[in-house]
Structure 1
Amino acid sequence: MKTIIGFFVLLLLAGCTTAPKSHFTRIAHRGASGHVPEHTLVGAAMAHTFGVDYIEADLVLTKDDRLIVMHDLELDTTTDVAKVFPGRKRADGRYYAIDFTLDEIKRLRAVERFDPQTGKRIFPDRFPDDARGFSVPSFDEFVTLVKSLNRTRGMKTGIYPEIKKPEFHQREGKDITKAVIEAVRKHGYEEKPSEIYIQCFEPSALKRLRNEFQTKIPLVQLLGENSWKESSADYDAMKTDAGLKAIAEYAQGFGPSLGTLRTNPTLFPRAKAAGLVVHPFTHRADQRPFGFTNEAYLRMIRESGADGVFSDFAEMF
């Protein structure tokens, strides 16, 4: 009940504002992931037709040092890797992208996200599992598609790559932070900073981009919870005024979860007061807060003080 009341109080307070409306940035979370399997070229193309501002691309490295668009370090939550390569799992039972070459990953079929332990789909009512033709794209393929659609459609849709778990990659002997900045520079984004953000949960990676690599690309510090074990960073410290001020020294943006609207209702305005743009994650029309209509949920997000949002259904904004 407290959760419902908290959300409605926020909605009522937001409705009292008289500030002029500014552009609300729509970020296609893992492509059009509410409609087709996440992080596929079909999903990226569909998101582009929705007219979104940015399309997200989570990035991990393969065994042969190729960047692929994949949310997890493991392949077994969104592909059929266990069927194609049944003997390639690690001692923990998982199939890691870093243990496979790009050519091997190209043999896999991308599917809707599922629990590898139970086989149950995370979103049962989304795209059917018997569909064929989806594969895991390389980052080069993803960028080429977005830039080609921009040219043919006369648009400037941006990309929003996330560097996934640099600490893990470092333990495996790979420098994913360097790989990402080299890739985006190869594709010309250093000269087009309005068409890209780079995000990461690990502040050390973002600080390297700003200081070691001297990038002018806008950076976004993602906010996890310490209980998530996302990295060695102290996310509780980031939520303080001092923490937000420290983030603003190396990043332009801040990416908390939408859940912080309930647990830390002053976080968004305090982040903006520190000079950060706020892009929370993740709106899902099929996972609304209890008691909310779709229209009320959309309104709450738009009027929360956020500058934009990551959404599986970005066309709704």
Structure 2
Amino acid sequence: MTDPASQTRLIAHRGASGWAPEHTEAAVRLAATLGADAVEPDLVASRDGVLVVRHDVELGETTDIADRPEYADRRATRTVDGHEVTGWFAEDLDWAEIATLRARERLPRLRPLSAARDGEQGVLRLEDLLRIADEVGLDVVAELKHGDHHERIGLPLDALLADAVAGTHWASSGRLVLESFEERTLHACRERGIDARLVYLMADGGTAVDLGADGPSFAEQRTDAGLAALAGRVDAISVEKAALFARDEEGRIGPSVLAARTAEAGLGLITWTLRPENAFLEPEHRLGEHPAAWGDWTTEWRMVAALGLEAVFVDHPDLWRRVAG
């Protein structure tokens, strides 16, 4: 019989971000070396419409911008998707300015070895990442971050993406997957002629920003009726790892029925993000008290591997290969 894990694609979450600061060239190249099938960049827009590979529109968490006096006056507070955020925003800088920044580890307390590499590398544009992906043979699973926010400020991500891939094989080769927590952003990309698999990211709670307060919640969209409706609009859904587990009456952990229900609806199922540190494991798989210590990740990841998902997001690609081949 075919091992279900052998059919699961390995997506390096922002590169091999367990070993090097996320979204850097080093992390992307290392991901290929460690056996990833694809890399996942998060995309935000600069003031001049360049798609920048960063975790969020706020740059202080993942770059050295807070230490750069020339950008001190750019610090601002604004509302993004209903949340007040203070920091330095990509849309307030041109690409030439962002290109001067140096990347930093986003989780330094949990990943001090990666944090030791702070400042070694700069920030990538989408075109830089696509070039590197071609060189090392990785597919690309691009997350369009805060689509509604970008549209409101006149930087629509669908238009910027269409321009970025126009005339390249990425627009039609099947090597590009698009994902977003906002379904409208995905459809806008397809309407612009980008031939890519569409993946709807679904949080554990709340409602998609583009649906508004009166729209169906993510939980309602994961009912049988909700999944059946989504199957006519997207190719797959992507959920938090915790959604794959359920507990019996005695509190023992096991697989939830989500994988079977999603397959029944004709949708692919992807999960994010597998990490070995205690901070990210289910309680019974933690070893010791320190959140940065590695727990019994092999048991938990084997449970995920047995589900035969379409793909998994992993920070340490080599660790997934140990448990899933």
The TM-score range, normalised by the shorter chain, is 0.7 to 0.9
The reply on whether 1:135 has 2:161 as its aligned counterpart is no
Alignment CA distance shift 1:26-1:222 (3 Å):
same
Determine which of 220, 227, 234 is the counterpart of 1:237. 220
In structure 2, relative to structure 1, the CA distance for the partners of 1:130 and 1:298 (3 Å cut) is: closer
CA offset at residue 214 of structure 1? 4.3
Report deviation, 1:267. 1.8
List, as ranges, runs of 4+ consecutive aligned residues in structure 1 with deviation greater than 6 Å: none
User: Counting strand residues as a fraction of each chain, which structure ranks higher?
Assistant: 2
Task: Tell me the CA shift for residue 252 of structure 1.
Answer: 1.1
1:191 and 2:172 correspond: yes
Name structure 1 gaps, 5 residues minimum.
1-17, 115-120, 151-156
TM-score, length-scaled by structure 2: 0.82
Aligned residues between the structures:
285
The one-letter code of the counterpart of 1:201 is: F
Alignment of 1:1-317 (within 5 A): 21=4, 22-84=6-68, 85-92=71-78, 93-113=86-106, 121=108, 123-129=110-116, 131-150=118-137, 157-193=138-174, 195-210=175-190, 212-227=191-206, 231-233=209-211, 234-262=217-245, 265-286=256-277, 287-292=280-285, 293-317=296-320
Unmatched segments (≥5 aa) in structure 2: 79-85, 212-216, 247-254, 286-295, 321-325
Q: Which residue of 1 aligns with 2:292?
A: none
- Give the deviation of 1:230 after TM superposition: 5.9
Residue 271 to residue 65, structure 1, CA distance change in 2 (3 Å): same
Q: Tell which deviates more after alignment, 284-293 or 93-102.
A: 284-293
In structure 2, C-alpha distance between the alignment counterparts of 1:126 and 1:265, rounded to whole Å: 35
* Aligned-pair identity (%): 28
For 1:112, give the aligned amino acid: E
**CA drift at 1:135:** 1.1
**Distance change (3 Å), C-alpha of 1:34 and 1:130:** closer
Provide the aligned C-alpha RMSD in A: 2.0
Kept after mapping to 2: 8 A contact 1:54/1:196: no
Contact 1:244/1:274, CA 8 A, preserved across alignment:
yes
